[in-house]
Structure 1
């Protein structure tokens, strides 16, 4: 089984987050930024700011659900606590200042 990724995207133009999980992160990010995903197409562009790898779909789904249930401030705190997995620290730093 391929590894799965749980990820957090950020839309700087709309100041919102999107959380998801996938087995092909590069392809998924492309789909989001090409407007091919109904839930994210009106908030383009998206920046990948955080990702982590999970060994099973069930682990990925549990973490994705946890992230989706966090308030904005709690998500920012989670990202700060899990800083080593930040992909785009500059976007994150803009959020907390």
Structure 2
């Protein structure tokens, strides 16, 4: 399975959307500061995730969630 996940920073008002085939390991990477784009916002908590069968579908869903309408769906229906 592949996962599209939404993280929120525990210290700042900031969210991150990403995808991974290994959700627990990826969350650990984010919290340990091993991800360049998120290291200044750590630590994180997992707000939500969506599981899909393929990496391609996860990429497409992540891209959608990063758009204006995708964020609206996330905030209204998922978060």
TM score, norm. by length of structure 1: 0.73
1:82 aligned to 2:75?
no
Q: Which runs of 5+ in 1 are unaligned?
A: 84-97
* Length, aligned pairs only: 79
Larger Rg belongs to: 1
Distance 2:73 2:26 in 1: 25
Find the residue that maps to 2:7 and give its secondary structure. strand
Distance 2:35 2:74 in 1: 25
Q: Which has the higher contact order (CA 8 A, sep 6+)?
A: 2
Question: 1:18-60 deviations in whole A, cap 9, x for unaligned?
Answer: 0000000000000000000000000011110010101011110
Structure 1's consecutive aligned runs of 4 or more residues displaced over 4 angstroms after TM superposition are none
TM score, norm. by length of structure 2: 0.88
> Hey, which of these two has a bigger chunk of strand by percent?
2
